[in-house]
Amino acid sequence: MYKFVDDLNEHQRAAVTASPHSAVLVLAGPGTGKTKVITARVAYLLLHHKLPPQDVVVATFTKKAANEMVERLAVLLQPYPQIDAKKLLIGTFHSICVRILRKYGGLVGLNAGFKIADETDAKQLIKKVLRVMAESGLDVSLKDSDVKKYRAYISACKNKAQLPDQVPVSKKAGDTSIKLEVYTLYQEELARNNVIDFDDCLLLVHRLLAHHPSCMGRVKHVLVDEFQDTNKVQLELVYQLSGFNENYKHNVTAVGDPDQSIYAFRNAEAENFYRMEDYYRQKGVPVLKVALTQNYRSTSNILTLAEHLMNQQFARREQKYLRAHKKDDIPVQMFACATNKAEASTIAATIKQVVKPNGTQYSDIAILLRSGFLSRVIEQELIHANLPYQVVHGRSFWERREIRLLMDYLRAVASDMDWLGYSRCLDFQVSGLGAKSLLLLEEQLSAQRARNQPGNVYVMLESIARDGMKGITAKARAGIGEFVALIKKARELLLSDATEQQQLEKIFDHIVQHSRVVSVVNEERMDRKGDSQEEIEANLNELKNQLISFNLQEEDLLQDAYAEEDELEVAEQSFDLTASTSLEKLTQFLDSVYLYEETKIAEKTVSKVTITTVHGSKGLEWPVVFVPSLCEGIFPSQHATNDVGDTTKNEAALDEERRCMYVAVTRAKERLYLSYFRETLGFGFGDPVKRKSRFLNLPKGLVKVADTSVASTPNLLSSFQRNIKLNTGSLALGSGFQTASRLTGVSRLPDGAVKISKPRKKRLGMGRPLRFTKK
DNA sequence: AAGGCCACACTTTTT
DNA sequence: GTGTGGCCTT
């Protein structure tokens, strides 16, 4: 029939060829061909059942997964050029929702040109709310930890589809009422700034579809990957998206594995699998459950260990018994180390042993960590051993000062209403303008809104530059004038007679030239870091490349305009939003960045060891995997081991940690190395004395306890390390590598060190979100 | 408003 | 050990 169907095993085929008029639930253990099944299912729906691609929604968990699926589909569908898979509505839940909101957001009260508030924005706004509340005499603290608490509370509410007025009144009224007040005021702040947070992306579409289900009425099938990671709102979005089209009602395919649910902290509910089953059975929709148990990835040794782990779960769990396809021979190894440093050097030494010229490459190796900060010591030792590595840890690049600032400028160019972005630009650029003036400007904006004007920041600034304003000094006024001129010029470039790429490039250069971002950020860093101007410029250059090489999404995906679209209230901008495709591209670029989507980065050809978190490793595989720092309090995390006085909660937390461990070990194809240490060196987290993780209490025979004498042998002093020692003369003692391996930037390696290992521009480590190399 | 100094948090994972 | 933010002074 179709080759891609013939290539499947019996269970996979059952899932792929199941009737589209049903709910198909695929329980897919690690390495059982989950992606293969979901891609084949999409292809089958398009080819065999002739569904138009633009009517099929595929929600994945990460952008990476979406990309991979698109690529694989392109291969499957190559013999069928009549199918245009590019038209699929595919992406993360968040990005799909933002695309829907860009079109229909007006129906749920959004302004055109809304922006997405990242976590920093969100916390800033909460803090502001708290400050106002404190000033009015309420007993609230402004501590960071409290801000976090409120942030988590708000997120939890939103993930349960509860807006402030929908939060059920709880028994413990006192506490809740403050939280609710914060939540309410926070929502007002978001609206005032014309931004929505991550959770709103989902929640607003949820509300949109509740009131205007026909918006997405043409959807004919909904497929969801990593279904165990969905939260309540996402589950309901699936119901909504697939619930309107009469002829294709409840046509859903969900793929996932409850054992790999590791996002409960983000309000994911693995039970959604069972909920969905019940929901559809009650509706009389045929439900087909398929379990995939043939594992194509790992050796039986690894799978046996994984299964043993999961049998320790407190919660009830369906036994899975994955069958290994591969023959096993290499035992899982475990080493006990005296210190975290010794553990790291043991890993380095082992990597040296394992890598062979025509065999295992550096890129075949991954080190999977429970938390990001653990990479510090490991990076140090890998550098000392002169081993190439990359830390794949998405956001650090985007959190750099110069990048955030440039992004704020770009936001200002793209929108008139984005006070959050504008205020940070002003604060940065305009000397003589500080907190107090910003407050004045904000009041002025509110006054405008009170008179039912949209609160156009750009227009307001323009008039202040022209006519002045009470309370704004002449100096500040002049600065505002310069800033307005900058934005104005940038917008003129948008309309210039040049290609999109040239326009964006010019805008970028214009901002860099006139904003003094480079020199100011450089000065800010001067006192401690020494010369980093090159570095800042290199980062900005990288941002520029990302911007100009960004691919515009074909927006006819959401065409088929819905009748009520006319109701869309487009708030007035001072420039014509529709005039320029560059502006559209800019807006989409900003969306994609704030949605944490992976952006295209030039593929690095050098083979490197990958260091990443367990969460970041999901869905990936390597021939050789290290899972270090298996100590009580680290893995499982303190969070789960601390007695909270509630057995159920403790057990649930430990179960999640164990699933985390399960995900980690099942990434390995051939060799798996587990390790722990007894003492933490350096400034520490909790008690420096550590105990072996409970996850390492394995029956004899499952692991081979390896010789760790290598760790204490000081034979790892490479010429590289000696060079470093020679070059540390000019550095403040101890600052070098500590800083170097901070998650915020190996890029900040002291000059000496970087120059030795690589040419300066090819910095070690991360500092930018790298792509995983294809296996 | 800007710059300097001190206290304190950082250690869960991320769309 | 380092970065941030708050509070102080100028």
The tens digit of pLDDT for each residue in A195-238 reads: 899 899 999 999 999 999 988 989 999 999 999 999 999 999 99
pLDDT of residue A205: 96
pLDDT band at A574 (very low <50, low <70, confident <90, very high): low
* CB-strand contact A60/B, under 7 Å: no
pLDDT at A345 over 80: yes
The letter for the amino acid at A497 is D
Distance CA A212, CA A227 (A): 25
Q: What is the pLDDT of residue A772?
A: 27
Here the tokens at position A125 are: 């706004």
A741 touches strand C (CB under 7 A): no
CA-to-CA distance for A330 and A411, rounded, in angstroms? 53
A115 assigned ligand-binding residue: no
| Residue A585 CA, distance from chain mean position | 21
Q: Residue A730 has what pLDDT? A: 24
The answer to whether the beta carbon of residue A372 comes closer than 7 angstroms to any atom of strand B is yes
Highest mean pLDDT out of A180-184, A274-278, A540-544: A274-278
CA of A586 to C1' of B2 (A): 34
pLDDT band at A573 (very low <50, low <70, confident <90, very high): low
CB of residue A739 closer than 7 A to nucleic acid strand C? Answer: yes
* Mean of pLDDT over chain A: 80
Mean pLDDT of A340-353: 92
CA distance A127 to A121: 10
Give how far Cα A256 sits from Cα of A223, A225, A312, A377, Å: 11, 6, 21, 34
Tokens 């009260």, located at residue: A109
The per-residue pLDDT for A327 is: 76
Strand pairing report for A609-613 and A389-391: parallel
Q: Is A631 left (phi over 0), alpha (psi -120 to 50) or beta?
A: beta
Question: Residue written as tokens 């000392």?
Answer: A384
- Cβ proximity of A444 and A460 under 8 Å: yes
Summarize pLDDT for A376-406 with one digit per residue, the tens: 888 888 888 889 888 876 566 777 778 888 8
Q: What is the pLDDT of residue A750?
A: 27
Segment A277-311, tens digit of pLDDT: 999 999 999 999 999 999 999 999 999 999 999 99
Q: What is the arithmetic mean of pLDDT over A332-342?
A: 90
* Per-residue pLDDT tens digits for A586-644: 888 888 887 765 544 434 567 889 898 898 888 889 999 999 999 988 899 888 888 77
pLDDT in tens, A705-744: 876 644 443 333 333 332 222 222 222 222 222 222 222 2
List the single range of A4-18, A229-243, A524-538 with lowest mean pLDDT: A524-538
The reply to whether omega before A388 is within 30° of 0 (cis) is no
What is the average pLDDT across A431-455? 80
Note the pLDDT of residue A448: 81
Quote the pLDDT of residue A734: 24
For residue A247 the two structure tokens come to: 């002829």
Distance CA A385, CA A354 (A): 14
C-alpha span between A312 and A282 (Å, rounded): 33
- Helix runs in A171-297, H state only: 173-192, 198-211, 232-241, 272-282
pLDDT grade for A517, boundaries at 50, 70 and 90: confident
Q: What are phi and psi of A679, to 5 degrees?
A: -145, 140
* Distance of alpha carbon A483 from the chain centroid: 32
- Check residue A177 and give its pLDDT: 79
A331 token code pair: 């035992």
pTM of the model: 0.82
- pLDDT for A532: 63
Number of Cβ within a 10 Å radius of residue A236: 19
Q: Where are the beta strands (DSSP E) in A31-137?
A: 56-60, 89-92, 115-116
Asked if residue A270 lies in contact with residue A662, where contact means CB atoms within 8 angstroms, the answer is no
- Establish whether the CB of A44 is closer than 7 Å to any nucleic acid atom in strand B: no
The beta strand positions in A554-694, using DSSP E, are 609-613, 622-627, 668-679
d(CA A408, CA A425): 6
Token pair 């298996």 is at which residue? A630
**A553 Cβ nearer than 7 Å to chain C strand:** no
Residue burial A513-548, b: 16+ Cβ < 10 Å; e: rest = ebbebbebbbeebeeeeeebeebbebbbebbbbbbb
- Distance between CA A635 and CA A83 in Å, rounded? 47
φ/ψ of A169, rounded to 5, equals: -70, 120
**Using the CA of A124, which nucleotide's C1' is the nearest one?**
C5
Contacts with A452 (C-beta within 8 Å, 6 or more apart), sequence order: none
CA pair distance A534, A523, nearest whole angstrom: 13
Q: Looking at residue A347, what is its pLDDT?
A: 94
pLDDT at residue A670, rounded to an integer: 94
Q: Please, which pLDDT band fits residue A361 given cuts at 50, 70 and 90?
A: very high
* Amino acid symbol at A493: L
Q: Which amino acid is at A247?
A: N
CA distance A205 to A189: 20
Query: Which positions ≥6 away from A21 have C-beta within 8 Å?
Result: A248, A250, A251, A286
To the nearest 10°, the Cα dihedral for A652, A653, A659, A665? -150
Rounded Cα–Cα distance for residues A247 and A504 (Å):
45
Q: Is there contact between A684 and strand B, defined as CB under 7 Å from any strand atom?
A: yes
Alpha-carbon distances, residue A65 vs A19, A97, A119, A267, A697 (angstroms): 25, 17, 23, 21, 34
Task: State, as a whole number of angstroms, the distance between the CA of A701 and the C1' of B7.
Answer: 52
| Distance CA A550 to C1' B3 in A | 40
Per-residue confidence (pLDDT) for residue A605, from 0 to 100:
63
Q: Is the shortest CB-to-strand distance from A127 to strand C under 7 Å?
A: yes
Is A34 marked within a binding site? yes
User: One-letter amino acid identity for A324?
Assistant: A
Return the pLDDT at A554.
57
Give, in Å, how far the C1' of C10 lies from the CA of A472: 21
pLDDT of residue A255: 95
A686: Cβ under 7 Å from strand B? yes
- The answer to whether A117 touches A195, Cβ cutoff 8 Å, is yes
Q: How far apart are CA A417 and CA A277, in angstroms?
A: 44
Nucleotide nearest to A639 (CA to C1'): B12
A128 touches strand C (CB under 7 A): no
A439 CA → B11 C1’, Å: 36
Strand C: which residues 397-416 of A lie within 7 A (CB)? 401
pLDDT in tens, A471-507: 888 888 988 999 999 999 999 988 888 888 888 999 9
Q: Which of residues 136-165 of A touch strand B (CB under 7 A)?
A: 143-145, 148
Local confidence band at A575 (pLDDT 50, 70, 90 cut-offs): low
